[in-house]
Amino acid sequence: MSLLLFPLRGVPEDEADEVRELLTEQVIDFYETTAGNWGMSMPGIWLRQADDVEKARALINAYQQQRAISSRETYKQLKQEGLQQTFLKAFIAQPVLYCTYIFAMGLVIYVSIKLLYEFGL
């Protein structure tokens, strides 16, 4: 019976590639499913053999701990150099886009509240 080892929804492509490479190096038999044409299916890496579950989970847990440590170090380094992405920097880079988003959010809130008052709720 196949077992879901690693869900891929929301996972960066580089992380998914590294997990695939890790499993291939350790000769763990797996296959991958996509989200499908409409994104409704479960994208993930599945194991074919139930015997490999403990070994594969241990490998992925160790990999994710190492990735978290390196990501934190990268963030700290970028923060010290003043190069990390902030909301203000993103807004300055694309002000029209962010103003459009803010306007759209305000419009949705306004229409929602207006409808509530019109229906007397």
The pLDDT value given to residue 64: 97
Supply the Cα-derived Rg of the chain in whole angstroms.
Answer: 22
- C-beta separation of 30 from 55 below 8 A: no
The pLDDT value given to residue 25: 96
Q: Would the pLDDT of 78 be above 90?
A: yes
Q: What share of the chain is helix, strand, coil (3-state, %, to 5)?
A: 65, 10, 25
pLDDT cut 70: percent of the chain above it: 99
Q: E strands along 11-117, which residues? A: 30-33, 44-47
Which tokens is 7 given? 């869900």
The pLDDT value given to residue 1: 74
Torsions phi, psi for 6 (to 5 deg)? -145, 105
**Across residues 69-90, what is the average pLDDT?**
93
Domain spans of the chain, in order of start: 1-84, 85-121
| Tens digit of each residue's pLDDT (9 = 90 or more) over 4-52 | 999 999 999 999 999 999 999 999 999 999 999 998 999 999 999 999 9
CATH dotted code for 1-84: 3.30.70.1530
Reported as a pLDDT band with limits 50, 70 and 90, residue 2 is confident
